[in-house]
């Protein structure tokens, strides 16, 4: 089959649309940001109408930039911010509450209560996840418990739940289907990743009616066709779905067991393909579904740092140290090192391997000589330190050494950060020519479903490396850096978590 592919990458702070050629080349791309809503400290919400407007705007911009017609689009792939929770009216399609974002920590106390009730291992054994407010299940429960009318309507089957992919497919198809894929289902605390189904007991523990939940499908198949989408003709197959980090793993062509990638976006997310084995983590990582194609499930280990690029945004918006995010590299490079300053960017708690939702960010090592440049460098280093922690945990769990790390996402264009990452890990870091691998993965999955890509070898052929960062730091200096980092993390963590 011939034709171009449209990939929608619906992210935490903006929506990106990419137009791909049949060979997987990027013909055009566009991004539209949308507002973030913070009703209370630790709460993060999105208005899905603002998300939809950003998608439609980016869609028109991307098609215009690509100079191809909408009629040439043969398939649509979707990738999305995971865990973010939407409830909507089945009849009208209107959201009944603002989306609660994956970063939101309002259910931390509920997760603690579930742990105290002895349910941690029940959830972990079936879902591969830990009891943390990061995931969708307790967000659904919170919304329903916040409004008796919503609870009653959910019990009557009038409402639908979905992560952003599910809601987006519903909008793109004119409400024709209520589905999700296995990767997104695996992030809800409600899905048994081994049995491949929603788990009734877990739903009961969180008082989530089964009637809310979407049908779970594979990651590369035709789910529905477009209907009534501004700027697109009706009838285009919606044919690929994966949560953003799984899509990036696929886009980086990490098809063999042991292959690993890290995406540097709002957060930093490292995934390692573990093949057909769902490896249980003993070091605070998650076991998740990488993708499901042709009825076969591939698993991955995952580590998440909640704050990566968001720390740079904080320097820009919160402190006013830089005007644009890209300015941080030059500022950080203006000093030879951080002069002992360590920034632990736990602005919304600590993720793996610590899992401390109450932790807050800290800056240590300040002196009268500390400048904005030192803080900028410490911010970049803090991102890399988090990824190094996750990498060590991943190697310990998998029993597989990390031969190299494939990187992507906006912050991977920061050469100073990538070099420091290679130095901390002691392995080469590969950056592809197209760092939009999240969108590429969604496009590849859609292209596979409709036959534009005949097999995985065609996907591998489309992948090209732009730069490799070789480690240059001595083991002694690396150890000194790590010791300062671990000391700073220890001060950041709450007493309950330690």
Strand partners, 240: 77, 220
If phi > 0 it is left, if psi is from -120 to 50 it is alpha, else beta; for residue 260 that is beta
Burial (CB count <10 Å: 0-12, 13-18, 19+), residue 474? exposed
Q: pLDDT by residue (tens digit) across 292-315?
A: 999 999 999 999 888 898 899 999
Evaluated on CA atoms 46, 49, 51, 53, the torsion sign reads negative
Q: For residue 266, what pLDDT is reported?
A: 81
Q: Is the pLDDT of residue 494 over 70?
A: no
CB count in 10 Å sphere of residue 486? 12
Give pLDDT, residue 258: 86
Comparing CA positions, the residue from 360, 365, 364, 358 lying closest to residue 346 is 360
**What would the mean pLDDT of 366-380 be, rounded to a whole number?**
95
Contact of 76 with 40, CB cutoff 8 Å: no
- Using DSSP, state whether 163 is helix, strand or coil: coil
pLDDT for 463 beyond 90: no
Distance from C-alpha of 271 to C-alpha of 285, rounded to nearest angstrom: 10
pLDDT value for 221:
97
- Chain length of the chain: 498
CA dihedral 209, 212, 213, 215 (to 10 degrees): 130
The winner for highest mean pLDDT among 49-53, 407-411, 433-437 is: 49-53
Which ranges of 352-407 does DSSP label H, i.e. alpha helix? 372-398
- pLDDT, average across residues 228-236: 95
Cβ 312 vs Cβ 379: under 8 Å: yes
Tens of pLDDT, residues 159-198: 999 999 999 999 999 999 999 999 999 999 999 999 999 9
- For the residues 20-37, what does the mean pLDDT come to? 92
Average pLDDT of the residues in 25-43: 92
- Name the most confidently modeled range: 1-10, 135-144, 314-323, 461-470: 135-144
Give the percent of the chain with pLDDT over 90: 78
Contact 433, 407 (CB under 8 A): no
Answer for the pair 473, 35: CB distance below 8 angstroms, yes or no: no
Tell me: pLDDT of 497 over 70. Answer: no
Asked if 14 and 32 count as a contact pair (C-beta separation under 8 A), the reply is yes
Structure tokens at 239: 């044919």
In eight-state DSSP terms, residue 273 is: E
Which residue from 72, 66, 78, 77 is spatially nearest to 2, judged by alpha carbons? 72
> Does the pLDDT at position 498 exceed 50?
no
Homologous superfamily (CATH) of 4-245 is ATPase, nucleotide binding domain (3.30.420.40)
The pTM for the full model equals: 0.86
Domain boundaries, the chain: 4-245
Mean pLDDT of the chain: 92
Confidence of residue 42 (pLDDT cuts 50, 70, 90): confident
Cβ neighbours for 365, distance < 8 A, ≥ 6 positions apart: 338, 339, 340, 341, 342, 378, 484, 488
Provide the pLDDT confidence category of residue 67 given band limits of 50, 70 and 90: confident
Phi, psi of 308 (to 5 degrees): -135, -90
Return d(Cα 148, Cα 393) in angstroms, integer.
43
| Nearest C-alpha neighbor of 86 from the set 73, 74, 101 | 101
Tokens of 153: 């309507």
Determine the pLDDT at residue 126.
Answer: 96
pLDDT at 398 > cutoff 90: no
- Which pLDDT does position 492 carry in this prediction? 82
């Amino acid at each position: 089959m011939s034709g171009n592919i449209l990939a929608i990458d619906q992210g935490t702070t903006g929506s990106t649309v990419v137009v791909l050629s049949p060979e997987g080349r990027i013909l055009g791309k566009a991004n539209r940001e949308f507002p973030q809503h913070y009703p209370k400290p630790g709460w993060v919400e999105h208005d899905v109408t603002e998300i939809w407007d950003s998608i439609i705007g980016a869609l028109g911009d991307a098609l215009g930039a690509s100079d191809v017609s909408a009629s040439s689009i043969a398939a649509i792939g979707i990738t999305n911010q995971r865990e973010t929770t939407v409830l909507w009216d089945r009849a009208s399609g209107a959201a009944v509450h603002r989306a609660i974002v994956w970063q939101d920590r309002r259910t931390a106390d509920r997760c603690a209560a579930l742990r105290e009730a002895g349910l941690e291992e029940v959830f972990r054994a079936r879902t591969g996840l830990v009891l943390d407010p990061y995931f969708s299940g307790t967000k659904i429960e919170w919304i329903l418990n916040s409004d008796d009318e919503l609870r009653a309507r959910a019990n009557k089957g009038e409402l639908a739940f979905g992560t952003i992919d599910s809601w987006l497919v519903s909008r793109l198809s004119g409400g024709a289907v209520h589905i999700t894929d296995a990767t997104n289902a695996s992030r809800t605390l409600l899905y048994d990743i081994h049995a491949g189904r929603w788990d009734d007991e877990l739903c009961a523990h969180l008082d989530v009616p089964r009637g809310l939940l979407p049908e779970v499908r594979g990651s590369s198949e035709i789910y529905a066709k477009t209907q009534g989408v501004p700027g697109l003709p009706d009838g285009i197959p919606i044919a690929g779905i994966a949560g953003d980090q799984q899509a990036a793993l696929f886009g980086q062509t990490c098809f063999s067991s042991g292959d690993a990638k890290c995406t540097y976006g709002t957060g930093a997310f490292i995934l390692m393909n573990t093949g057909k084995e769902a490896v249980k983590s003993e070091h605070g990582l998650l076991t998740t579904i990488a993708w499901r194609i042709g009825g076969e499930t591939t698993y991955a280990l995952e580590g998440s740092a909640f704050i990566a690029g968001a720390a740079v945004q904080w320097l820009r918006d919160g402190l006013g140290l830089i005007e644009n995010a890209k300015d941080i590299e030059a500022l950080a490079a203006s000093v030879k090192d951080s002069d002992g300053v360590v920034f632990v960017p736990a602005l919304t708690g600590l993720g793996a391997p610590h899992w401390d939702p109450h932790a807050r960010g800290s800056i240590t090592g300040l002196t009268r000589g500390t400048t904005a440049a030192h803080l900028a460098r410490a911010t970049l280093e803090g991102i890399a330190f988090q990824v190094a922690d996750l990498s060590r945990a991943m190697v310990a769990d998998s029993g597989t050494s990390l031969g190299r790390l494939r990187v992507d996402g906006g912050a991977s264009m920061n050469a100073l950060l990538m070099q420091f990452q290679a130095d901390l890990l002691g392995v080469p870091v590969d950056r592809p020519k197209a760092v939009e691998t999240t969108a590429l993965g969604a496009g590849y999955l859609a292209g596979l479903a409709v036959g534009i890509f005949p097999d995985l070898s065609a996907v591998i052929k489309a992948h090209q490396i732009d730069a490799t960062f070789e480690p240059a730091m001595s083991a002694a200096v690396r150890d000194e850096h790590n010791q300062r980092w671990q000391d700073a993390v220890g001060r950041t963590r709450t007493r309950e978590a330690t």
